[in-house]
Every structure is written in structure tokens, then in C-alpha cells.
């Protein structure tokens, strides 16, 4: 049975209390929701059995070669993670069987053969960003890499430099690391962004002080896909002899990057964002001029003493293969994603009272963040169980707070709560995009009809002129 056929209109969970506090309007909402629930009352008895069947069917088919076999949702959450490319898996499998040596065992052939493959993977990662293989340090992922950069550099230079600069729209792990540094006595400047999500280069340059040791600006934002002027930022940092770190987890393999051309001194990279395995990533650390940092993981001195611990050859080689493939396929991937992105945006923005969040020009097309006014994003996600989507970063999805990224752009709570992120990737198809557009149109209309606010909008009432009474 096809999952989409189970409940084409899942029971919506409309929470209007963020928008409405008037008793009259709440009664109208209750009556409308009650009427809508009556339409699906006959379906409630079998709903639990259907959901149980759907869950069991999904689990049973999760490892089949073709996951889109009629039992799994369409996947449009590529910023959270990407599916592992089958070619990457082929490369990894040999290291779970015959090539099982510890790459740090240098007294026998088992260690030599895996170490050789590790170094081959290191070169492939380096080639993707124009670096030297000796400048690539393997980590568990971009979060660890970001922690290494944000904490490691300031701690090493803390005797003379106690100031760092970052941006309010950075990934949560950057912002949390910066707050930890503040607790240790460092000064942190958080740059604002404009309504497009871009920083002001003049503001950045003015923020640099004599004791500034690090500037950290992500290349592509994980929620809205905005691309910052990385090359210009690199020039400013080099001019003032300040180290420049960039979180490129969402950028590597998706936009052209060259660490030398862009004057990037440290770069965070994630494997599972480029169709590689989870649990592996890297940090690029420039050797000339040399960047020094205190390691956050110590032990056996692996990875130039910057990140101790035994490397996992299956993950490292899978990461290297993913880098090789995405470099080879970059032109095709970019054209494919750009074409589908335009198709999706044209379809979604044709719905009235919708808007694209972030710059329309300086953006990565594979990340589309759209706000649908007069409904809640959570309600829309509940009504779209046949499509895997997100209302923001997967790392903060447990929170019901509106996106801090959209707040930084100037969006109010209502607009931030009504936003959905769509992620397009290498394996996304036109048929999936067309299905999503049709489903969004139908269910946005369905949810708006349940909202008393939407009824007022259709009657031409300016909601800003209404004085809501409390209870």
C-alpha cells in the first residue's frame, strides 16, 4: 500500500494561540476545527492501524535498493543530510571485510594498506578545496571541526588576543562555542545581517580590533541558503592579519571553493552533506602562514597532534570517494539542482501570501526557505507526512522557538513560525518536485480555510488594526 494513499489529508494540528487571543475568534476557530474533524471522524478508528502498518512497511523496506517504492515519503531535507551515494558504499564495504587493519599500525601490511587508502582519501578532500593534503585533519564531522576552530585558535593566542568575530545567523555549534569562550573571558562580536541575510563588509572591517584573532563566517547558510561574500571577507582578514574560519558544511561540493583564492585559513567540512557517510568530516588548517590551535581532543597524537584517536578507514575512504564524485559531478549537480529549484520556487511562490526568505541572488539554489502566511509551519508539516521536510536546522528542530536565523533577517514570530525549508539534491526528480508543489497548494488552502485570520484577510480586514482582548 502506498503511504500517500493512507491519509492524503492527515488530520491537521492547528495551533492558533500564537496568533489569536480574542475569545470570539477562538470560538470561531474551535467551531471550524470541529467541523473539519467531523470530516475525518470516521477515519479515526482505522487511523492507528494504518499508521502502524505504514511504520512497519517503511521499516521493512528501508534497506531496499529503491527506497521510493511507494512506502517512504519524498525526501526534501538535503540540508539535514543527504543519501549515501551507492558508489560511496561500494568503496566502504571492502574496509568492513578484508581491509580491517588499524591505519596507525606501522609495523605490518594490514596497517600499511589502510593507511595508504586514508592518505588517498585525504588528497581527494584536499583537491576539492584547493588545499594541500597535509592541511586536512579528519574529525567526526563539521560540529567537531567548528569547535576546534572557534575554541582552539583563541585559546592558543589568548595571551595577546582575546577577541573573535562571528555572525548572528551562524550554525548553533558556532554560536554555542562562542558563548563558551565568553564564559572564559573572551570578547565576541556578533555581526548583524540585512533583510537578505548578508553581512555588511564595512561593519566587519570596523569590528576588527588589534586583539582580534579570528573571524568566523559560514559560506552557505543551512536554513536559508544565503551565500556570503567569502572571497571579500578573506581579503579583509588577510589585510588585518586576522585568521579567517568558514563553516563550509553546506558549501563544499555545491559551490566552487578555493582556500587560497579566498584566503580561508580554517574550513569545516562534513561528509554526510555531500552523499558520504555520517560520523566523519574534516577541518582544513592552513600551514603557510601557519595557523596554531589548541587541540580539544588529546591522546595518541594522530592527525598532526590536533585530533587524537584511531581513524575509521570505512568512513574516511567513503568521505574521500564522496569528495571525488562530487568534484567530478559538480557541473551536472549544479545544473540539475538549479533547474529543479526554479521549478519548485515558481510553483510555491505562485501561492498568494508567500515569500522566499533570504537573498534571491546570492544563494545556493538547493536550499529553498519559504514562508506561508496565516498558517503555522508545524501544522503544514503535520499535513505533509508524505514529504520529508523541515522548519529549520535539524540540530535545533526539537525546539518550538521560531528560527533565530529568520529573526535576524527581521521576520516576526508569525512569519518565522510559518516557514518551511525545502532541500534539493543529486537524486531529486522532477516528478517529486511536481508532487510537492501540488500537495503544498492543496494543503495550504485546506489549513487556511480553518483559520479565522484567513477569513478576515479575505474580507479585506487589516489585521494590524485589530485590538485583541486578553482572557
Residues 6+ apart with CB under 8 A from 414: 18, 19, 373
Sheet containing strand 212-216, strands side by side: 136-139, 281-285, 266-270, 243-247, 212-216, 163-167, 187-191
The alpha carbon of 311 is separated from its chain's Cα centroid by a whole number of angstroms, namely: 25
E strand map for 22-148: 74-75, 136-139
CA distance 40 to 231: 55
Which residue(s) pair with 413 in the sheet? none
Catalytic status, residue 395: yes
**What is the spatial distance between Cα 71 and Cα 81, in angstroms, rounded to a whole number?**
20
154, three cell numbers: 583563541
Whether the CB-CB separation of 425 and 250 falls below 8 Å is answered with no
Residue 304's nearest CA partner among 132, 162, 80, 129 is 132
Instruction: List Cα–Cα distances, 146 to 245, 247, 268, 446, in angstroms.
Output: 9, 7, 6, 42
Nearest to 444 by CA among 365, 341, 371, 366: 371
Which stretch of DSSP H or E encloses residue 421?
strand 419-423
**Residue 149, C-alpha cell as written in the block:** 576552530
How far apart are the two ends of the chain, measured CA to CA in Å? 47
Q: Would you report the helix, strand and coil content of the chain in percent, each value rounded to 5?
A: 45, 10, 45
Length of the chain (residues): 471
Which residue numbers are catalytic?
Answer: 395
Amino acid at each position: 500500500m502506498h503511504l500517500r494513499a493512507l491519509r492524503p489529508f492527515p488530520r491537521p494540528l492547528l495551533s492558533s494561540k500564537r496568533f489569536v487571543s480574542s475569545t470570539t475568534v477562538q470560538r470561531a476557530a474551535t467551531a471550524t476545527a470541529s467541523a473539519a474533524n467531523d470530516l475525518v471522524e470516521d477515519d479515526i478508528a482505522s487511523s492507528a492501524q494504518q499508521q502502524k502498518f505504514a511504520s512497519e512497511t517503511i521499516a521493512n523496506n528501508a534497506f531496499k535498493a529503491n527506497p521510493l517504492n511507494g512506502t517512504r515519503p519524498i525526501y526534501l531535507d538535503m540540508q539535514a543530510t543527504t543519501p549515501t551515494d551507492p558508489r560511496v558504499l561500494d568503496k566502504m564495504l571492502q574496509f568492513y571485510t578484508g581491509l580491517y587493519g588499524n591505519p596507525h599500525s606501522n609495523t605490518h601490511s594490514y596497517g600499511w594498506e589502510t593507511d595508504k587508502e586514508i592518505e588517498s582519501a585525504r588528497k581527494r578532500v584536499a583537491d576539492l578545496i584547493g588545499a594541500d593534503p597535509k592541511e586536512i585533519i579528519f574529525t567526526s564531522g563539521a560540529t567537531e571541526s567548528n569547535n576546534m576552530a572557534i575554541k582552539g585558535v583563541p585559546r592558543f593566542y589568548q595571551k595577546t588576543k582575546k577577541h573573535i568575530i562571528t555572525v548572528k545567523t551562524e550554525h548553533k555549534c558556532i554560536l554555542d562555542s562562542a558563548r563558551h569562550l565568553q564564559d572564559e573571558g573572551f570578547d565576541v562580536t556578533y555581526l548583524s545581517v540585512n533583510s537578505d541575510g548578508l553581512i555588511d563588509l564595512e561593519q566587519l572591517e570596523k569590528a576588527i580590533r588589534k586583539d582580534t584573532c579570528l573571524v568566523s563566517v559560514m559560506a552557505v547558510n543551512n536554513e536559508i541558503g544565503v551565500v556570503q561574500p567569502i572571497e571579500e571577507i578573506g581579503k579583509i582578514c588577510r589585510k588585518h592579519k586576522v585568521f579567517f574560519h568558514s563553516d563550509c558544511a553546506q558549501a563544499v561540493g555545491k559551490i566552487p571553493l578555493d582556500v587560497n583564492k579566498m584566503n580561508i585559513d580554517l574550513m569545516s567540512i562534513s561528509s554526510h552533506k555531500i552523499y558520504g557517510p555520517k560520523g566523519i568530516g574534516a577541518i582544513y588548517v592552513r600551514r603557510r602562514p601557519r595557523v596554531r590551535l589548541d587541540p580539544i581532543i588529546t591522546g595518541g597524537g594522530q592527525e598532526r597532534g590536533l585530533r587524537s584517536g584511531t581513524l575509521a578507514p570505512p568512513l574516511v575512504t567513503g568521505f574521500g570517494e564522496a569528495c571525488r564524485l562530487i568534484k567530478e559531478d559538480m557541473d551536472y549537480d549544479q545544473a540539475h539542482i538549479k533547474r529543479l529549484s526554479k521549478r519548485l520556487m515558481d510553483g510555491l511562490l505562485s501561492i498568494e501570501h508567500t515569500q522566499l526568505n533570504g537573498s534571491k541572488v546570492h544563494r545556493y539554489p538547493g536550499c529553498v526557505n519559504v514562508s506561508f502566511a496565516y498558517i503555522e509551519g508545524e501544522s503544514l508539516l503535520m499535513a505533509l507526512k508524505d514529504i520529508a521536510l523541515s522548519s529549520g536546522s535539524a540540530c535545533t528542530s526539537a525546539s518550538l522557538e521560531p528560527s533565530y536565523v529568520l529573526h535576524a533577517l527581521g521576520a516576526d514570530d508569525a512569519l518565522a513560525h510559518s516557514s518551511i525549508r525545502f532541500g534539493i539534491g543529486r537524486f531529486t526528480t522532477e516528478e517529486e518536485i511536481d508532487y510537492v508543489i501540488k500537495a503544498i497548494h492543496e494543503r495550504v488552502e485546506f489549513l487556511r480555510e480553518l483559520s479565522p485570520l484567513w477569513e478576515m484577510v479575505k474580507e479585506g480586514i487589516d489585521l494590524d488594526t485589530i485590538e485583541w482582548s486578553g482572557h
